[in-house]
Structure 1
Amino acid sequence: MADLQPPLDEPIYDLAVRPWTNMYPPEVPGSYVARVRNGVEMFQIGLDERPDGPAMHFFDQTMTHRQAGDYAHSVAAGLADLGVKPGDRVGLYLQNDPQFVISLHAIWLLGAIGVMHNPMLKARELKYQLDDAGVTVLICLESLYETALEAIGGTQTSHLIVTSEFTFAGENPAPILGKKIALDLGEALSLEKMFADYLGKQVEPYSADPAEVALLCFTSGTTGPAKAAMITHQNVAYGEIYLQEGRVGRDDIVMAGAPMFHVTGITGHIAAARLNAAPMVMFHRFDPGEYLRWLEHWRGTFSILALTAYIAIINHPDLPTRDISSLTKVFTGGAPVSPAMIARFEEVTGKYMHNTYGMTETSSPTHMVPYGMRAPIDPITGALAVGLPASNVYSAIADLETGALLGPGEIGEIISMGPDVVPGYWNKPAESAHALRGGVMHTGDVATRDADGWFFLIDRAKDLIIVSGYKVWPRDVEDVLYEHPAVLEAAVIGVPDDYRGETVKAFVSLRPGYESTTVEELLSHCKELLSAYKYPRLLEIVPEIPKTATGKILRRELRA
C-alpha cells in the first residue's frame, strides 16, 4: 500500500486522517494490499486451490475451475492464431453466460483488453463503441449475430466469433434462453469450434502490470454519450473490497444477477467470487423469477443488484413460495435508496439491504455500509447513508463552484481517490483531465457527510431543479413517493414553467394490486408531506420507468 499512500499534506486528505476508519467493524482493515496483481492471477486462485470445485453454476449445470480454465486456454490459443496480442481490444457482446467468463480469462491470458458491450445495443450504438475502442475481434451470442454483423461493417473489427447461449445450458434449457435459431454464419468463427480445435492447448500467461488496462467499460450514458472508462488490472484486483467490507468468503455462493458487461458484474460478481475460488450462480440475464429459482436451488448467499432489481424481486409472485433463507449478504448500489425502500425490503424478505456507492469510473464501491452495520439517516436532508469511504479510499465533499473542501453537514460534490479509481477515459484526454482534476475523481454527485464519516447521497448535480429560486433535489420527492404503498418505482424531473422557471414533475409506476390509484391521490400524498415549492405540480402514471440495463433511471428519456 505504500506506493498508493497519498501525501497527507494534500488538501483532500486532511480529514483528521480518515476518521471513518474508527467506525469500521473490527474485521475490516483501514487499508490492505490486494492479494493479486492482475486478472490472470485472480483466475489462477481457483485453479490452484479448488481445481475441481464449482466455478460456475449455469442454471442446473456446473462447471469446475479446471474446466473453465481449459476452455479459456483453448480460446486464448485460438485468439492468438488470429493475431491477438497484448494491448489489442477484444469485444464481448454477451449475456451472463459461461462464455463471458471464459472469454474474459482468455483475453487476459494474452494481455489483451476486454471491451464490454451491452447486449441491448442496436447496430448503430455498437458500431460507435467498436470504432471508439478500436475493437479488432468481437465475440457475440448467436441471437445477436445479425446486429453484430451489421455493426462491424466499416470498422477495424476483422473477426466476428459467435457462440450459442445453449452450449452449456444442459439437455433442458431454461425458457429464458428463447428458441434455438438456425443461422448461416458465413465466414464467422465460433467459440465452440475453438473449444474443439484447441482442446488441451495451454498458452503462456501474460503477466500484466497492475497499471495496464484490463477492460474498457462504457459509462451508462444517463447524462450524455457513453465514454469508455479504462479499468486497470489494479482496479479489478481491488474488487477485493467485496471480501473486506462485504465479507464474501470461500464458502459463499455469489448470485450473479447484475450484467457482467458492467463494473458491478466484473468486480461484484467475477472478482468477488474468483478471489475466493467461490462459485457464481448465473442464469443468462436478470429476471426476478429466475433469480429466485436459482437462489433457492443453489443456496446463494451473496447478492449485489440495483435497487430496481430488488423492487422486482419483492413484487414477484414467486417470492412467497421460494426459500431464500440462505441469502445473508445483500447489497445494492447505482442510485439513491430511500429509507422507505430499505424498510419495505426488510419487511418482505427479512433481509437488511446494505447500501453502496460507486460508478463506472471507480470500478468498485468507494463507499459501503460494511456487512452487519446499518446505515444512518441524515437528520437534515433525510437521505440514507450510502456508506463509509471504503478501505484504501480517500473521500471528501467539495464546493460545487470553488472546489474548496467542506466540513460535516455541508452539501457539495463527492470527490474520491483510491486504487479502484480509473486513470481516465479511452482516447479522451480532455474528458479525463476534467473528471480527474488533480488525480482526484470528481463524481458530479451531490452529497453531505457527518463527523463520523458517513456519506449521504442527495442527487446528481445535473438533476437539480430550481423552482422560483429554491433548490429541489429529485431524491427528496422520490423518497416521499416511495412512502406511498401504491408506488413501485418513481422518478422526478424538472420541466420548464413560465412562472416558476421550473416545476417538479413526477413519473410513477404502480405495484400490482394498486392499479386503481389516481394521480390526484399521489399528488395529495406529496402535498401533505413536502414544502409548497417541492411537491410535484405534474404527475404521470406510466407502465414502467425507463432505465439503463444496469437499473439506473434514464431521466433524459423522461425529459424528451
Structure 2
Amino acid sequence: MTSDPAALLDADFGSLPALMQLWGELRGDSTALYDGTAQLSWRDAADQIERLAARLQADGLQRGQAVAILGTSNVAYALVFLAAIRAGGCAAPLTTSASPQQLEGMAHDSGAIHLFIDSAKLDELGDFKLPIENQILLSELDAFMAPPGTKAAPFEPGENDPINIIYSSGTTGIPKGIVHSHAMRWRQMAGRVTHSYGAGSRALTSTPLYSNTTMVVFLPSVYSGGCVSIMGKFDTQKWLERAQDEKVTHTMLVPVQYRRLMEYADFGRYDLSSMQVKFCTSAPFPADLKAEVLRRMPGGLIEYYGMTEGGVSCVLAAHEFPNKLHTVGKPAPGHFLKVIDEALQEVSAGQPGELVGKSPTMMLGYKNQPEKTREGYWIDPADGSTWQRMGDVGIVDADGFVTLVGRTKDVIISGGFNIFPIDLETELAKDDRVVEAAVVGVPSDQWGETPVGFVVLKPGVSEDALEDIRTVANSRLGKTQRVSALHAIDEMPRSHIGKLLKTELREKLGA
C-alpha cells in the first residue's frame, strides 16, 4: 500500500480501512475525534478501531454483516461506526427518534448480532428488549475491546461490499434500510476533498450520525485525515462557541439550524473567520435564507440536493451563483437527470415533472426488500437503463439549474388541477407577520382536495390576523390555488434533520 494518501484518494476505488490505518500513522497526535468531552488523536483512534474490529471478528461478525448502533452521537459512537467497517462488516446506525416497535423492526431487518447502545436510550426502552444477542453500552467500549496492540484480521473491501445501512426517516411503518457500498462511498466522498478538505480541516457535525446528512461532512473528514468535532444535539449558542473556539473549517447544517443562527441576537459577536465551506441538505433551503447566510457567515455555501438512495445529486455553490439561489443547482459531474410526466414519459424542457436520476452513487438496494427497491426505479424505454425516482417535482431551466416545486406525494389535485404547495407556501411566507408556512391537501367533497395552510406567526402577532394573511396571499394566487383555511401553529413539526413532517400537520387537522 502506498504511503501517500493523496495518491490513494485519486484512485478510482480504494479502501477506507487502509486509509484510516495510514492516517493513524501519519497524523499521530493530531486530533481525529472530539465531542466536547472525549478527545482522541488519530493514533489512538486507529488503535481503538483496530481493537474494536478484532473483538467484533472474534465474536463471529461475518463479512458484510451489520453492527447496530443506537444512541446520541459522540466519540464512542463514531468509533463503533468506523470499527464495524474496519472489521469487514457494515455500520447500521438506528434512528433514535423511532418508536420501540420501529427499532425492533430495524434491529431484526439489519441482521446484526451486536447492538451498541447508550444508557439513556436503554433506560428509555425500559422493559422493551430489542432482538439482538450482544448488547454493549457505548460507555463501556474499553471493556469490550480486544487487548491493547491487537490487530484485526485483514479486510480488503470489494466494490459491492456494504459499508453502511442508513434507515429511512419514514414516519409510519418500519423504515427501509438503504444499503450503500464501499464503491458508492468512495466515489462520493474521496472526491469531496476537493472542497478544501484535508489533514488540517476541522468539521463540526450537529445532526445525528444515523443520518446520511451527517455523512456529508463526517466521512470526507475521515477520508482526508481531518478532525470531526461532534455535537450530540444542536444548540445555537453552543454551536457558535464551538465553531469559534475550535476554529471550525467545515460544517453541515440543515435549513432550520441556519435560520436559528441567523435569528440569534448575539450571532455577530462570534468569530467564524476560520470557516471555509458550509454545507446544507435534507430540506428546502429558502432563497432569502441562503442570501442572508452568504452575507453574514464567512466561507463558501454549498447546497446538495439528492436522496440517500442515490440517483442524481445536484450541487449549488451559492457563493458562485448568487442569481440562482432559488434553485438547488446543477447535476454533479457524472450525474444525469431527466424529468418525466405522470405517464412516465420525458417532458419538454422547462416543463415541471417528476425528477429521475442516475449516477455512480446509487444504493445497492433496500435491505431485504427487492420489490421496494424495484418500485423506486424508472427504466428508460430508450435504452433500458435504470434511473432512481427522486420523489420530487422539478423544472430544469435553460442553464441546467433545477428548481424544486414540490414532492410527488404532496401535490394537491383540486378540481382536476395540480397544485404545488411550495407556490402557496411562498406567498404566505412573504407576509411580514409570518415566520414560516406549510400547506397540505385535505379531502374536499366539492374539489376532491383543497389546500389548507399552517403558519408560525411572529412574536406579538395575534391569531386574529390569520384571515387577513390568507386573503392577502390568495389575492396573489391563481383561482385554483387559493388556500381554503389557515391555522396558527407554535412550531412546525420536524424530524431530527429538519425535514418538515406534513403527515403530522394532516393528523392535526384530523384531530
TM-score under structure 1 length normalisation: 0.81
Mapping of residues 147-226 of structure 1, within 5 Å: 147=124, 150-153=127-130, 155=131, 157-164=132-139, 190-195=140-145, 198-221=147-170, 225-226=174-175
Paired amino acid for 1:214: I
Paired amino acid for 1:395: L
Aligned 8 A contact 2:114 2:135 in 1: yes
How has the CA–CA distance of structure 1 residues 149 and 417 changed in structure 2, closer, same or farther, with 3 Å as cutoff? farther
Equivalent residue for 2:382? none
1:452 positional shift:
2.6
1:469 positional shift:
2.4
Gaps in structure 2 of 5+ consecutive residues: 1-8, 380-385
Equivalent residue for 1:17? none
Aligned 8 A contact 2:25 2:43 in 1: no
Equivalent residue for 2:328? 386
Counterpart-to-counterpart distance in 2, 1:241 and 1:353: 20
The size of the alignment, in residue pairs, is 493
How has the CA–CA distance of structure 1 residues 246 and 520 changed in structure 2, closer, same or farther, with 3 Å as cutoff? farther
Equivalent residue for 1:93? 70
Paired amino acid for 1:271: L
Counterpart-to-counterpart distance in 2, 1:314 and 1:102: 33
Q: After superposition, give the CA deviation of every residue in 1:131-185 in whole Å (9 maximum; x if it has no partner).
A: 12222111011111134564545x2x10101023xxxxxxxxxxxxxxxxxxxxx
Q: After superposition, give the CA deviation of every residue in 1:193-214 in whole Å (9 maximum; x if it has no partner).
A: 124x622222123111121111
How has the CA–CA distance of structure 1 residues 397 and 144 changed in structure 2, closer, same or farther, with 3 Å as cutoff? same
Aligned 8 A contact 1:491 1:508 in 2: yes
The answer to which of 437-446 and 218-227 deviates more is: 218-227
Counterpart-to-counterpart distance in 1, 2:219 and 2:128: 30
Aligned 8 A contact 1:413 1:446 in 2: yes
1:55 positional shift:
1.1
Paired amino acid for 2:483: P
Aligned 8 A contact 2:396 2:402 in 1: yes
How has the CA–CA distance of structure 1 residues 152 and 504 changed in structure 2, closer, same or farther, with 3 Å as cutoff? same
Equivalent residue for 1:400? 342
Q: After superposition, give the CA deviation of every residue in 1:403-438 in whole Å (9 maximum; x if it has no partner).
A: 223342022121111121112111111111121344
RMSD: 2.6
Q: After superposition, give the CA deviation of every residue in 1:243-289 in whole Å (9 maximum; x if it has no partner).
A: 267443443321212221111212x1222211221112212122222
The structure whose RCO (Cα within 8 Å, separation 6+) is larger is: 1
Gaps in structure 1 of 5+ consecutive residues: 1-31, 165-189, 378-382
Matched, 1:425 2:366: yes
Counterpart-to-counterpart distance in 2, 1:397 and 1:332: 24
How has the CA–CA distance of structure 1 residues 503 and 368 changed in structure 2, closer, same or farther, with 3 Å as cutoff? same
How has the CA–CA distance of structure 1 residues 234 and 512 changed in structure 2, closer, same or farther, with 3 Å as cutoff? farther
1:256 to 195, 205, 208: 205
2:356 to 415, 425, 431: 415
Equivalent residue for 2:30? 53
Matched, 1:128 2:105: yes
Counterpart-to-counterpart distance in 2, 1:512 and 1:349: 25
2:192 to 232, 243, 251: 243
Counterpart-to-counterpart distance in 2, 1:203 and 1:149: 34
1:483 to 430, 437, 441: 430
Aligned 8 A contact 1:222 1:555 in 2: no
How has the CA–CA distance of structure 1 residues 198 and 485 changed in structure 2, closer, same or farther, with 3 Å as cutoff? farther
Matched, 1:281 2:229: yes
1:520 to 456, 462, 467: 467
The answer to which of 415-424 and 243-252 deviates more is: 243-252
Mapping of residues 69-88 of structure 1, within 5 Å: 69-88=46-65
How has the CA–CA distance of structure 1 residues 245 and 323 changed in structure 2, closer, same or farther, with 3 Å as cutoff? same
Paired amino acid for 2:31: P
Aligned 8 A contact 1:214 1:233 in 2: yes
TM-score under structure 2 length normalisation: 0.89
Matched, 1:547 2:488: no
1:45 positional shift:
4.8
Counterpart-to-counterpart distance in 1, 2:266 and 2:373: 45
Counterpart-to-counterpart distance in 2, 1:518 and 1:242: 50
Paired amino acid for 1:491: A
Aligned 8 A contact 1:548 1:554 in 2: yes
